[in-house]
Amino acid sequence: MFQNFIDFMLNDFFVTGDPLILGAQVSIALASVAVVFVLTYFKKWRWLWTEWLTTVDHKKIGIMYIIASILMLFRGGVDALLIRTQLALPNLEFLHADHYNAIFTTHGVIMILFMAMPLMFGLFNIVVPLQIGARDVAYPFLNSLSFWLFFFGAMLFNVSFVIGGSPDAGWLAYPPLSELSGSPGVGQDFYIWGIQISGIGSLASGINFVVTILKMRAPGMKLMQMPMFTWSVLSSSVTIMFAFPILTVTLFLLFIDRYLGAHFFTLDGGGNPMMYINLIWMWGHPEVYIVILPAFGIFSEIVSTFSKKKLFGYKSMVFALMSISFFSFFTWAHHFFTMGSGANVNAFFAITTMLIAIPTGVKIFNWLFTMFRGRITFSQPMLWTIAFIPCFIVGGMTGVMLSVAPADFQFHNSYFLIAHFHQVLIGGVVFGYFAGLYYWWPKMFGFKLHDGIGKWVFWLWNIGFYVCFMPQYALGLMGMTRRFNEYNFDMGWQPLNVVSTIGGFIMGLAFLFQVWQIAHSIKFFKKEKSGDAWDGRTLEWSIPSPAPMYNFARVPVVTSQDEWWEEKQRIANGGKPKPLAPLEPIHMPKNSAIPFIMSVFFFIAGFGFVWGWTWMIVPGLLGVAICMIARSFSYDTDFYIPVDEIERTEAAALKGAN
Amino acid sequence: MNLKPKIRLLTFALIMLMAVLLTGCSEQMIVLDPKGPIGESQKDLIYLSVILCAIVLVPVLLLTAFIVWRYRDRKDSKASYKPNWEHSTKLEIIWWGIPIIIIAILGVITVKYTYELEPSKPLVSDKAPLVIEATSLDWKWLFTYPEEGISTVNYIQIPKDRPIQFKVTADQAMNSFWIPQLGGQIYAMSGMAMTLHLQADEPGLYYGSGANFTGELFAKMTFDVKATSDEEYDAWVKEIKSNYPALTEDGFKKLTEKGASNQQFFSSFPEGLFDRVVKQYIGKGGTGHHHGGGSTEAEASKDAAKANEHEQHEGMSDKEMSEMEGMDHGAVKTASGEHAGH
């Protein structure tokens, strides 16, 4: 009995026999011990619990999202470098085929779902309530639950690396490969449950931000006066609301196939794998627009701020955002022109795909003409924005080339495709979120990130990007297929692969510089005294940095787009500051431990489902249900901040400013 | 900051290095060096789309550089500054208009070629097409020549100047069948036979591969395609027929086991092997589509007979299934080809 248990632990439960993974297991164990030790030594457990784990403050939740996404960027980046190392030389034996397959699978899932998405939600959380003059999101409790569901979903996915084995059927897990017949191990179940649990969180966040933007705007702020970032969040969140249920249903059907022996996507029993491929891309294509739209919003804010000029073509921009999010639901089949749906279907989806290029192109022109007749300063956020424009134009153009359906038969699944989507996802999403991170960093933490190191980071990322991905376009035209773990000398792919690998490592170096930049800026902390670090235009710059927990001591009244800029202009032109209304007690939500605890139970249930352990599933789901009931009966969920406390906080912030 | 000159130098060096490497590799860009009519048309389309894109791309890149340089903030800037200039109907019409026109042109071309290059459409030729059946196994390609009665693994030989009708399927995981120098790929999916028409205009040895991930040894699923004259092709068939063993039922079963394989040749193969692989799941209630690589409009008349036959199979299999209910319960993982379409 005991021997059986030990055998199970060593053969099935823990991943054994690979020095890389053993190293990771040891370092994970050591890091956990170190964290526990530090928290205990400095008596920080209570602080961690009350200030962070149970918080419902959108700014803190945003910071936790960002920390998690940077950790995931590290994990996904290490995956990427392992892939590039394996491909640097022909027939290299650095990684085993099955290990390689697991690594590109986790690289894809982590970068999209556990890096880009949380970084995006982090920025949503920090910025949106401040931009619209609100004191929190519409549903603060749900917001906290969203974060913890994401976090424990991501942990469940990541733990497969050392326990049970990673999924290795590709980031979208096409059946029949992802069915029991193709992937009998638990890796695929970790994939399903990791994404399911965090997916619930994403859906809830989408709903939360739609409601927040529609219902919580400061008095006077009309929809057509909202900052462009808020518009982009609205378009992205609406897309989430319609797209994520498709993902949840699709993975649930796959789960039923695997767990209960159903036949939705199997080969036998009337199943149809093509159905899965259609469904997953009905989510998957909108998903890439979900992550890129907020980047468009960030660029709009930054271009306008650092050109000292109003955003050009506001109405066009809004129309473009909304039409992109609408059309994103009608292009999914361009991911499989080669599935033989016939000329009618291919022609339709080729045209809808090309249509998206139109509003996207218009946005580029509007950014350019915002800079036109402006006064451009090259601070870090603006550098990333300027680098984004040419990068994204080229990436967009190769996207148009891919949308030419009959030509796509030659590009599909080749490195040409790989180069394209990395160019739009790194050049667009990553550069965009970095720009946003540098832009709103002083608002989050009250200090700017070091400029000199930032320039190194910027150049290394950019050079690394082009060196890594430009050769991949050529490799695609040379016939190199994605997901090959090895290739022969005679194909002539080797020189460009070496170049590409060098580029990958330059980006790795850029990430290290970024870590150094943050550490350096913390060590030589220089308080950003004014709340208005960049001479900004929107409401978030009208309050101290970092923002007090209630955000606005007095709810602002909005009369124009770029409210804060107009107000500054008015005062500069000799206008009187607006008379201050008397302070009133502020109504705020109370912290709650339920989101954290409930997500732990979700994790337990998910882990149980992965292994098929009913004894674990039942208490897990029971715990979730009890948490829901407990929440339904808790009436003590809010409190008021008294006026004298607001006065003290405001006075302290003012003192810092002088 | 003495960072700038260093970075400029580094950037320049890297760009030069890449340029050298890219020109050095140009003859290896096999997609742009096609040897057949389909690949040729696709290459033309690629160049055409590059040119159309460049019409927008180049001016916009230049405009970006100009604007960023001209309107940078400096003390004695002579450039105009209009902080509240935020709208111009004329300009907006121009940049909604230009992309719309370009996309309209590209759209028309795309639609035309989508119908023209539909993979299931037979090529125009005075020669009858040679049928080759391709089956993606874990992790090797099995090719069967129904007319010649021979079979190969990871190797195809074809006569040049004669259309080839590939029928493509997969035993298990979905794959994609791609010979870049002859033309674009088509998915290989179990339970259906996709049709792909290609032709080689020149003799030569071409690279082929599986292009859709199929699991552990996916990278081993490359194959050679040799195009020769008719005479050489006939001689090759004769040689295979006389010098190599037959592919037996057991031999095929062995091929379906997971693992990579070298090139292999067989003088014969079991009758109807390909159809059996396609229809292996019908007994389990599968629908066994007979796809013509698509909507089959182009091939409607040709496929009519097959479709009839196919419907009969379906009807039969439904009956079969109802008879077998209960008997076949719980056979989730087993996927034997026993009741295949008989």
pLDDT in tens, B185-228: 999 999 999 999 999 999 999 999 999 999 999 999 999 999 99
Q: Rounded distance, CA A455 to CA A380, Å?
A: 7
Helix (H, G, I), strand (E, B) or coil at A325: helix
Q: Are strands B130-137 and B140-145 parallel, antiparallel or unpaired?
A: antiparallel
What pLDDT was estimated at residue A656? 63
For residue A333, give the nearest of A403, A400, A421 by alpha carbon.
A403
Q: Residue A641's beta-bridge partner residues?
A: A586
Amino acid, res. A467: V
CA of B147 to nearest chain A CA: how many angstroms apart?
Answer: 25
Cα dihedral B145/B148/B151/B157 (nearest 10): -70
Look up the CATH number of the domain holding residue A184: 1.20.210.10
- Does B105 lie at the interface with A, CB-CB under 8 angstroms? no
Residues A37 and A61 in one domain: no
- Sequential DSSP letters for B272-318: THHHHHHTTTGGGT------SSS--STTHHHHHHHHHHHHHHHHHHH
Which of A:258-287 have CB within 8 Å of B?
A: 261, 263, 266-274
Considering the domain architecture, whether residues A16 and A49 belong to the same structural domain is answered as no
Give pLDDT, residue A654: 77
B/e letters for B44-64, b = 16+ CB within 10 Å, e = fewer, are ebbebbeebbeebbeebeeeb
One domain for residues A49 and A36:
no
Note the pLDDT of residue B20: 64
Buried b (16+ CB within 10 A) or exposed e, B285-298: bbbbbbbbbbbbeb
Nearest to residue A627, comparing CAs of A276, A113, A144?
A: A144
Nearest CA in chain B to A397: B53
| Per-residue model confidence (pLDDT) at position A18 | 76
C-alpha torsion A515→A520→A525→A529, nearest 10: -60
Which tokens belong to B110? 């795309």
Q: Token match 């000292």: residue?
A: A308
Average pLDDT estimate for A198-227: 96
d(CA A617, CA A609): 6
On whether any CB of chain A is under 8 Å from the CB of B64, the answer is yes
Both structure tokens of A195:
């994404």
* B264-266 and B150-153 strand pairing: antiparallel
Of B28, B209, B297, the CB nearest to A481: B209
User: Are A261 and A379 members of one domain?
Assistant: yes
pTM of the model: 0.91
Mean pLDDT of A319-336: 96
DSSP 8-state symbol, A261: -
Q: What is the number of residues in chain B?
A: 342
Q: Which domains does chain B have, with CATH numbers?
A: 130-321 (2.60.40.420)
Q: How far apart are CA B236 and CA A161, in angstroms?
A: 50
Position B10 scores a pLDDT of 67
Rounded to 5°, angle at Cα A106 from A103 and A109: 150
Three-state SS for A358? helix
Peptide bond into B34 cis (omega under 30): no
Q: A428 near A292, Cβ under 8 Å?
A: yes
Q: What is the pLDDT of residue B313?
A: 42
pLDDT for position B291? 46
Residues of A (403-442) whose Cβ lies below 8 Å from B: 403-410, 412-414
Question: Does the CB of A494 have a partner CB in chain B at under 8 Å?
Answer: no
Question: Based on the domain organization, do A416 and A565 belong to the same domain?
Answer: yes
Two structure tokens written together for A580: 């201050």
Q: What is the mean pLDDT of residues A17-23?
A: 77
Record: contact A311-B294, CB cut-off 8 A = no
* CB-based burial label for B315 (10 Å; 0-12, 13-18, 19+): exposed
CA distance A201 to A160: 20
Q: Please check whether residue A328 is in contact with residue A239, taking contact to mean a CB–CB distance below 8 angstroms.
A: yes
Among A residues 294-353, those touching chain B with beta carbons less than 8 Å apart: 307-316, 336, 338-347, 350-351
A373 touches chain B (CB under 8 A): yes
Please give the pLDDT value at position B24.
56
Looking only at the bridges linking them, the beta strands covering B204-210 and B175-179 are: antiparallel
Mean pLDDT of A518-547: 92
Residues of chain B neighbouring A412 (CB-CB closer than 8 A): 176, 184-185, 211
Q: pLDDT of B251-307, one tens digit each?
A: 999 999 999 999 999 999 999 999 999 999 886 554 545 444 443 333 444 444 444
Mean pLDDT for the stretch of residues A594-621:
96
Work out the angle between the directed axes of helices A451-477 and A431-445 (0-180°, nearest 10): 160
Provide the greatest CA pair distance for chain B. 90
Separation between Cα atoms, residue B160 and residue A271, nearest integer Å: 40
Whole-angstrom Cα distance, residue A617 to residue A601?
9
What's phi and psi for B181, nearest 5 deg? -80, -15
**Which chain B residues are within 8 Å of A368, Cβ to Cβ?**
60, 63-64, 67
Rounded Cα distance, A459 and A438, in Å: 15
Say yes or no: A387 contacts chain B, CB-CB below 8 A.
no
Q: What's B146's DSSP letter?
A: T
Tell me: do A384 and A235 sit in the same domain.
yes
The residue count for chain A? 658
Rounded to 5 degrees, φ, ψ at A229 are -65, -40
Residues A391-446 have pLDDT tens digits of 999 999 999 999 999 999 999 999 999 999 999 999 999 999 999 999 999 999 99
Residue A231 CA to residue A361 CA, distance in Å, equals 18
Interface of B with A in 112-151 (CB under 8 A): 113-120
Report the number of distinct structural domains present in chain A: 2
Check whether residue A552 and residue A537 sit in a common domain: yes
Q: How far apart are CA B215 and CA B174, in angstroms?
A: 10
- Candidates A465, A477, A483: best to mutate against B (most CBs of B within 10 A) is A477
Q: Which of B51, B176, B213 to mutate to test the interface with A (most CBs of A within 10 A)?
A: B213
Going by the DSSP 8-state scheme, the letter that residue A135 receives in this structure is S
Which A residues, 453 through 482, put their C-beta within 8 Å of a C-beta on chain B?
A: 455-456, 459, 463, 466-467, 470-471, 474, 476-479, 481-482
Backbone torsions φ then ψ of A632, nearest 5 degrees: -60, -30
Judged by CB atoms closer than 8 Å, whether chains meet at B1 and A452 is answered as yes
What average pLDDT does chain B have? 82
Two tokens at A373?
Answer: 């007749």
Q: Which residues of A touch B213 (CB under 8 A)?
A: 101, 169-170, 174, 177, 482-483
For residue A133, being part of any structural domain is answered with yes
Closest residue on chain A to B324 (Cα): A269
Q: Name the more confident of B147 and B330.
A: B147
What is the C-alpha to C-alpha distance for residues B81 and B75, in angstroms, rounded to an integer? 13
B35/chain A closest Cα distance in angstroms: 14
Q: What residues 256-275 of chain B have any CB closer than 8 A to a CB of chain A?
A: none
Percentage of chain A beyond pLDDT 70 is 99
Tokens of A497: 């692969």
**Candidate from A312, A478, A483 with C-beta closest to B213:** A483
Over the stretch B47-88, which tens digit does the pLDDT of each residue have? 999 999 998 899 999 999 999 999 998 888 888 899 999 999
DSSP code string of B40-67:
HHHHHHHHHHHHHHHHHHHHHHHHHHHH
Same domain, yes or no, for A25 and A159? no
Are residues A271 and A181 part of one domain? yes
Domain that holds residue A17: 1-43
Q: Which two tokens stand for residue A648?
A: 């003290």
* Same domain, yes or no: A38 and A101: no
Is residue B268 exposed (0-12), middle (13-18) or buried (19+ Cβ within 10 Å)?
A: middle
Q: Identify whether residues A461 and A505 lie together within a single domain.
A: yes
pLDDT of residue B327 exceeding 50: no
Can you give the pLDDT at residue A346?
Answer: 96
Mutation test of the interface with chain B: which of A307, A309, A481, A499, choosing the one with the most B Cβ atoms within 10 A?
A481
Same domain, A71 and A39: no
- Pairing assessment for the beta strands B155-159 and B222-228 based on DSSP bridges: parallel
CA distances from B55 to A392, A626, B49, B99 (A): 16, 62, 10, 10
- Determine whether the interchain pair A409/B42 forms a contact, defined as Cβ–Cβ distance below 8 Å: yes
